[in-house]
Amino acid sequence: MKITFLGTGASEGIPAFRCNCPVCIEAREKKGRHFRQNAAVHFESDGGVKILIDMPAQIKMMLEKYSLSDAALDLILFTHYHIDHTAGLFHLLESLERNGHVPGKPVKVFMPEDCHETVMDGIFPDQIDMRSTDYSRFYSLEILKALQKTSEGMLEIQALNTNHLSGSRECHGYLFTENGKRAAYMVDSSSQLPPQTLEALSGIDCLIFENTFDVFPDKGRGHSDHEGVLKIRNLLKPERMILSHISHRNFSHDRLAAFMEKHGIETAWDGMEVLI
């Protein structure tokens, strides 16, 4: 399995717009790994299945920057409806013959049920009417519920509850299983995971987890801080753990990487490639 981190930042990115906090100032000075765009990854299975997880506003340029073909995607997975994960959905929804697109192999798109309802009802101003538009020649929009599985070739994908949202709204992480190897992508994830999620992730080969804050301002559900990351590592004991979805309300890249390295945890950066 090969994973390319297209973006590793939380909703504001780093540096954040009009922010002069120490982390943003350092990012502007040092650039490189200190820059973080909104979190998204490109996943390629050993069998050649190409998957995109989430579509931030800058998704087209992200893919072009790392020479990844949007036309070659087999699956697109959405974690939840928040705008920093769905703003680039505009590109997908506009992919229709009337807009000059040429039909190719339709791409399968999976998302939580409430995210699907949000898209169908109209997530953007003047969006096409999804309920009366035939987009099947270009893509599907399908619901994948928590704990439900789907397969593509030898690759199995399972949606897992991240405990990010309250009430009936859902946020999914995704567990990938292929050739006896297991990897999971769990951004926008609380460190207080449901029992079924913990069970599914126990002893995993590679866990990509979030670290939005250094200290979480609200110790309830939603996100994770340093304490929560170490708690999850000790609970699940992954062979490899990598952090993404990092806010400017956290350590700078160099400081965070050095701190987490002491605990055997890696810190991702935009453009990082991982082989599992």
pLDDT in tens, 118-131: 999 999 999 999 99
Mean pLDDT of the chain: 96
DSSP the chain: -EEEEEE-B-TT-BSPTT--SHHHHHHHHH-GGG-BPBPEEEEE-TT--EEEE---TTHHHHHHHTT--STT-SEEE---S-HHHHTTHHHHHT-SGGGTPPP-SPBEEEE-HHHHHHHHHHSSTT---TTS---TTTB--EE--TT-EEEETTEEEEEEE---S-TT---EEEEEEETTEEEEEE-S--SS--HHHHHHHTT-SEEEEE---SS-SS-SSS---HHHHHHHHHHH--SEEEEE-B-SSS--HHHHHHHHHTTT-EE--TT-EEE-
Whether the pLDDT of residue 136 is over 80: the answer is yes
pLDDT value, residue 217: 82
pLDDT in tens, 90-106: 999 999 999 999 988 99
Domain count, the chain: 1
* C-alpha torsion sign, points 92, 119, 197, 148: negative
pLDDT in tens, 205-254: 999 999 999 999 876 679 999 999 999 999 999 999 999 999 999 999 99
pLDDT band (50, 70, 90) for residue 168: confident
pLDDT value, residue 218: 75
| Predicted TM-score of the model (pTM) | 0.96
C-alpha 122: how far from chain center: 22
Q: How far apart are CA 166 and CA 142, in angstroms?
A: 22
Amino acid at 67: S
| Helix (H), strand (E), coil (C) string for 107-120 | EEEEECHHHHHHHH
CATH number of the domain within which 211 lies = 3.60.15.10
pLDDT value, residue 101: 94
pLDDT in tens, 55-89: 999 999 999 999 999 999 999 999 999 999 999 99
Residue range of the domain that includes 103: 2-275
Distances 187 to 11, 23, 94, 197, 245 between C-alpha atoms, Å: 12, 21, 27, 13, 6
